[in-house]
Amino acid sequence: MLGTNDIERSKRFYDSVLNVIGAGEAIQNANKTGQRRLFYRHDGSIFCVSEPLDGQSATCGNGSTIGFKCDSPEQVRQFHDVALASGGTSIEEPPGPRESAMGVLYLAYVRDPDGNKLCALHRPKA
């Protein structure tokens, strides 16, 4: 779950970006005190974006990254490009291969409109 200060902006962003990996449009929900939330389901996983439950402003976590599995290097690039077209910001190196302890990974890093850090990643099968 990530926090947002503008649920409608987040819905537009995440509906577009998560469509790249096959998640459908958000299921919207409001709790008893009125905070609105967006739930995205895909491939057995759930991702949520919420207005903060404590009524304070949402802030992004320093050192936090949410990763989204992609099926190919091309999907990593598409995730990145759609994120930018939807109000996100590209960060770190351009999308592409990176050496890691797990072998070569294809990665792209972006920040959503609230500043949350996201990673699109693809690990080729050995």
- Tally of CB atoms within 10 A around 34: 8
Q: Residue 125 pLDDT more than 90?
A: no
Q: What is the CATH number of the domain that holds 7?
A: 3.10.180.10
How many domains is the chain built from?
Answer: 1
How sure is the predictor about 122, in pLDDT bands with cuts at 50, 70 and 90? very high
Q: Residue 1 pLDDT more than 80?
A: yes
Q: Residue 88 pLDDT more than 80?
A: yes
* Least confident among 20-24, 60-64, 66-70, 93-97: 60-64
pTM: 0.92
Instruction: Considering only CA atoms, give the Rg of the chain.
Output: 15
Distances in whole angstroms, Cα of residue 94 to Cα of each of 7, 99, 114: 28, 14, 21
- Domain residues for the domain of 113 are 2-53+60-122
- Which pLDDT tens digit goes with each residue over 22-59? 998 899 999 898 999 999 999 889 999 999 989 899 99
4 vs 70: CA distance, rounded Å: 24
- Classify 78 in phi/psi space as left (phi over 0), alpha (psi -120 to 50) or beta: alpha
